[in-house]
Structure 1
Amino acid sequence: MPRDPEKVRRRLQEAALKLYQTRGYDGTTAADIAAEAGVTQRTFFRHFPDKREVLFGGEDEFISTLTSAVASAPPDLGPLEALVRAFASVEPLFIQNRPFTEPRRHIIAAHPALQERAQTKSRAVTSALVEAFRQRGVSDQAANLAAQVGMATLGQAVAAWFENGSTDLGVHVEHAFKELSDLVKFAQRPGDERGVR
C-alpha cells in the first residue's frame, strides 16, 4: 500500500468509484471502501469525513489555480476574458481527472445528497472567483454576474466534452463562450429587431 498521502487518497477514491458502480452508492459503506483500497477504516477517515466526500477532491488545487490565473491576467482584460484564460489554466486538471470525474457524474446525478454536495463545491468555486474579480477592481455586482455566468458556461463546455471527447476541452470552452457572446450581442440589439413590441 503506498504511503504517499495523495496516492492513498486517489486509491480510496478509485475504490469508492468501483464499489459505487458495482454495489451502488447506498449499498457501500466507508468500511467497504477502505477494505477495497487495502487500508483500515481509520485511514479512510483520516482522508475523508464520510463516504460522500470521497467523490469530491482537488477543490483546493482547482480554486488556487483558477484564482491565480484570474489574478495574473492582463489588467486590460474584462472579467469574462480573464475567465477564458483562467479556464485554460485548469484544463490539464480536467484532462488528468477525466477517468474519475466522467463516471462520477453519473453517480452524482442519481443521488440528491451528492447533487447537494456538488452544488456546495460549485458555490465555493464561484465565491472564490468573485473575490478574485474584486481584487482586480471589478464591482461586486459585475464580479458576481461574471463568476456565475462563467461557471455555468464552463459547466456546459465540460458536459459537451464528456459527450464528445474527441474534441479538445479547450475547443468546447471556446465554443461555449462564443455562444454566450452571441447571446449578449442578441440582447444588445434594438427591441424592434428582436420582434419585441
Structure 2
Amino acid sequence: MPAATTATKAERTRAALQHAALARFLEHGVDATSIADIAADAGVTERTFYRHFPSKQHILFADYDARLGWFRQALSVRPPGEPVTASVRIAVESFPYDAALHQLAVLRSEHLEQELVQAHIKTVQAEFAREIEQFLLERTGAAAVSDEAYRISITAQCVSAVMFTATETWFARGDLDVAELSRLVELGLRTIGDGIS
C-alpha cells in the first residue's frame, strides 16, 4: 500500500472544492448550483475554482482522478517479479472506499450527457493504460520500439479495459462492496489471461 503523504495546499483546496460542490449538488442539484456558490462554500474565489476545474461538471469526474493518482502510487510499490495481473489486482484492492466518490458517480450518471461521460471515461481509461504501460516498460527495461514494447502496450490496454468494465459494472449493479469490485477485476483479468476465443 502506498505511503501516506501530506496534502499540499493545492490538494486541500481541490478537496474543499469537491466537498463543497458535492454538498451543494446533493442539496440543490447540479443545475441549480453555481460556481460562485461552490467557491464561496470552499472559501476561495471563482478564479481559484477555475485553476482546479474547467467547469462544475468536471467535479463530477473527480472519482476517476482520485483513483488514477491512487493507482499510480499503488503500482509504484509492487515488487519487480510480480505478474502484472497480481500487481493490478492488489492496487485495485488497495483503493480506499469513499462514499463521496460513489455519490459523484451517481450524480454524473443522472446529470450529464452520456456522450460527455463516455468521452471522459475513454480519456481516463487511456491514462490508466499509459500508467500500466509505463510501469511495465520500466519494470522490463524493454526498448521503446520493440515487439516486447508492443506486447506491453496491448497488455496495458486490455488490463485498463478490464478495470473500467469492472468498475462500471460494479456501480451499475449497486453492490458497493469492495470485495465485489475485486472479484470483478479478478474475473476480467482471468478472462484476458485465458485468451480471447
Q: Same fold, TM exceeding 0.5?
A: yes
Share of identical aligned residues, percent? 25
Runs of at least 5 residues in structure 1 that lack an aligned partner in the other structure = 189-197
Q: Is the 8 A contact 2:39 2:46 kept in 1?
A: yes
After superposition, the Cα gap between the structure-2 partners of 1:84 and 1:35, relative to the gap in structure 1 and judged at 3 Å, is same
Q: Is the 8 A contact 1:34 1:41 kept in 2?
A: yes
Q: Is the 8 A contact 1:52 1:114 kept in 2?
A: no
Q: Which has the higher relative contact order, 1 or 2, with Cα contacts under 8 A spaced 6 or more apart?
A: 2
Alignment of 1:165 onto 2:175: yes
Deviation digits for residues 26-79 of structure 1 (CA, Å, limit 9, x no counterpart)? x65423433455543233224333334333347676445423433433333322
Name the SS for the 1:153 alignment partner: helix
State the Cα distance separating 1:117 from its structure 2 match.
3.1
Runs of at least 5 residues in structure 2 that lack an aligned partner in the other structure = 1-8, 143-147
Alignment of 1:132 onto 2:135: yes
Name the SS for the 2:168 alignment partner: helix
State the Cα distance separating 1:87 from its structure 2 match.
1.6
- Structure 1 residue aligned with 2:108, among 97, 105, 110? 105
- Residue number in structure 2 paired with 1:151: 160
After superposition, the Cα gap between the structure-2 partners of 1:170 and 1:109, relative to the gap in structure 1 and judged at 3 Å, is farther
| Paired letter, 2:186 | F
The CA distance in 1 between the partners of 2:37 and 2:106, in whole Å, is 19
After superposition, the Cα gap between the structure-2 partners of 1:140 and 1:13, relative to the gap in structure 1 and judged at 3 Å, is same
| Paired letter, 2:175 | G
- Structure 2 residue aligned with 1:55, among 52, 60, 66? 60
Moved more, 54-63 or 114-123: 54-63
Q: TM-score, normalised by structure 2?
A: 0.67
Alignment of 1:121 onto 2:124: yes
- Structure 2 residue aligned with 1:66, among 64, 67, 71? 71
| Paired letter, 2:131 | A
Q: Is the 8 A contact 1:19 1:28 kept in 2?
A: yes
Deviation digits for residues 71-97 of structure 1 (CA, Å, limit 9, x no counterpart)? 4333333222221122223x21x4364
- Residue number in structure 1 paired with 2:3: none
The CA distance in 2 between the partners of 1:45 and 1:176, in whole Å, is 35
Structure with bigger gyration radius: 1
Q: TM-score, normalised by structure 1?
A: 0.67
Q: Is the 8 A contact 1:66 1:87 kept in 2?
A: yes
| Equivalent pairs, count | 181
- Residue number in structure 2 paired with 1:88: 93
Q: Is the 8 A contact 2:125 2:164 kept in 1?
A: no
Name the SS for the 1:73 alignment partner: coil
